[in-house]
Amino acid sequence: MSVTERVPVSPQASFLGSGPYPEHRWRVVLWSVLAGFALTVLWSAPFVDSVIGDSVANTLLGHDAKATPIGGVLAGTFFAFVSGLAGTFTACNIAAFGAVAPLVGGRATGRPKFTDTLKPLGWIAAGMLTVSVVYGVIVALVGTRMPQFSTASSSGGLSPRNIQSMIVYGVIGIVFIVLGLASVGIVRNPIAGLTRRFPPAPLVLMGALIGGFLIGRPFPLFRMMFRSAAESHNVFYGAAAFALQSVGNILVMALLFLLLTHGTGGRLQRWMLAKPTRIAVVTGAALLVAGTFTLLYWDLRVLGRTGVIWYPTIKW
């Protein structure tokens, strides 16, 4: 059977698959972890948050996003989507791009059908929206008493919001790392049993992790939306705003996936299948880079910024 005649591999099969795994799997892990660490050192939050994020939001809204109060529910829901899109490349969302490689490697052969590529995006959206909608409702009910709303600094220079971000992103980073290690065969697939019963489980889990970004997100434009939803005590507004924030977060990722899939006419997928271990290497590396960056940036680099520990950074 030729490469172009092989039976397509589903996204959930190649993502956390059962092999074949690369021979030099520890080399893949080492270089991926080093790449994630290097990204934390080079990352410029002021440039990404202000120069890119604020510029995108100001352009789409037609006014200064930070200086203009959110005026009502309709304006708030639109602001939620725009701020989510503006925050695409921020440190609290960049790990979402770790899902692109597993998605692209999911369909193995032939010219992909557009409906087939929408299915894995739909499963990711299902996991993501479940988390973001539930959290939006909680924010609307609890209001400004939530730790994520508090900026009061403790003696160590960490606010409750900082601590919540560290915990949430630390857990998400660890999960990404475990998924990456499972992808290259270092550890056993932790959700193998669930995946056998429900094949889209890995994609739903990836979506839930992306939705979880909102639980710890400190992005300034997100904080404005958070305050608006918390002070409204309107659960429908909270659910819609947080859902649209997440949709904005993954829009560029989804378009990139569709472009890589349909723009290459399936050639990229066939390239990934040309070598049996290539899917495992690419998906594992993407998840490990994303997980290492998320864990180190939001835990160790935050501690370094507050002076608790030393962490190398290049300011620009």
Kindly report which listed range (63-67, 263-267, 298-302, 307-311) carries the lowest average pLDDT score.
Answer: 263-267
Cα 149 to Cα 218: distance, rounded to the nearest angstrom: 9
pLDDT at 76 over 90: yes
Give the span between the Cα atoms of 268 and 120, in whole angstroms. Answer: 17
Give the burial class of 280: count Cβ atoms within 10 A of its Cβ; 0-12 exposed, 13-18 middle, 19 or more buried.
Answer: buried
Residue 184 main-chain phi, psi, to 5 deg: -100, 5
At residue 6, does pLDDT exceed 60? no
Q: From CA 140, how far away is CA 196, in angstroms rounded?
A: 37
The residue that leads in pLDDT, 298 or 278, is: 298
Residues in the chain: 316
Residue 112 has pLDDT above 80, yes or no: no
Q: What is the pLDDT of residue 50?
A: 87
Is pTM beyond 0.85 here? Answer: yes
Whole-number pLDDT of residue 2: 39
pLDDT higher than threshold 80 for residue 70: yes
Round to whole Å and give the CA distance between 310 and 38: 15
Instruction: For residue 111, count other CB atoms closer than 10 A to its CB.
Output: 12
Q: Which of 108-112, 229-233, 262-266 has the highest mean pLDDT?
A: 229-233
Q: At what angle do helices 114-142 and 220-232 cross, to 10 degrees?
A: 60
pLDDT (tens digit per residue) in 282-312: 999 999 999 999 999 999 999 998 888 999 9
Question: What distance in Å separates the CA atoms of residue 180 and residue 299, rounded to the nearest whole number?
Answer: 19
Distances, alpha carbon 311 to alpha carbons 40, 170, 314, in Å: 10, 16, 10
How many whole angstroms from its chain centre is CA 118? Answer: 18
pLDDT at 228 over 90: yes
Look at 2-11, 101-110, 201-210, 290-299 and tell me which has the smallest mean pLDDT: 2-11
Whole-angstrom distance, CA of residue 217 vs CA of residue 223: 8
Rounded Cα–Cα distance for residues 269 and 112 (Å): 9
- Per-residue HEC secondary structure of the chain comes to CCHHHCCCCCHHHHCCCCCCCCCCHHHHHHHHHHHHHHHHHHCCHHHHHHHHHHHHHHHHHCCCCCCCCCCCHHHHHHHHHHHHHHCCCCCCCHHHHHHHHHHHCCCCCCCCCHHHHHHHHHHHHHHHHHHHHHHHHHHHHHHHHCHHHCCCCCCCCCCHHHHHHHHHHHHHHHHHHHHHHHHCCCCCCCCHHHHHHCCCHHHHHHHHHHHHHHHHCCCHHHHHHHHHHHHHCCHHHHHHHHHHHHHHHHHHHHHHHHHHHHCCCCHHHHHHHHCCCHHHHHHHHHHHHHHHHHHHHHHHHHHHHCCCCCCCCCCC
Q: How far apart are CA 33 and CA 289, in angstroms?
A: 6
Query: What pLDDT is recorded for position 12?
Result: 43
**Taking the CA of residue 57 as centre, how many other CA atoms within 13 Å lie in the half-sphere pointing to its CB?**
34
Closest CA to 207 of 75, 95, 76: 95
- Cα separation of the two ends of the chain: 53
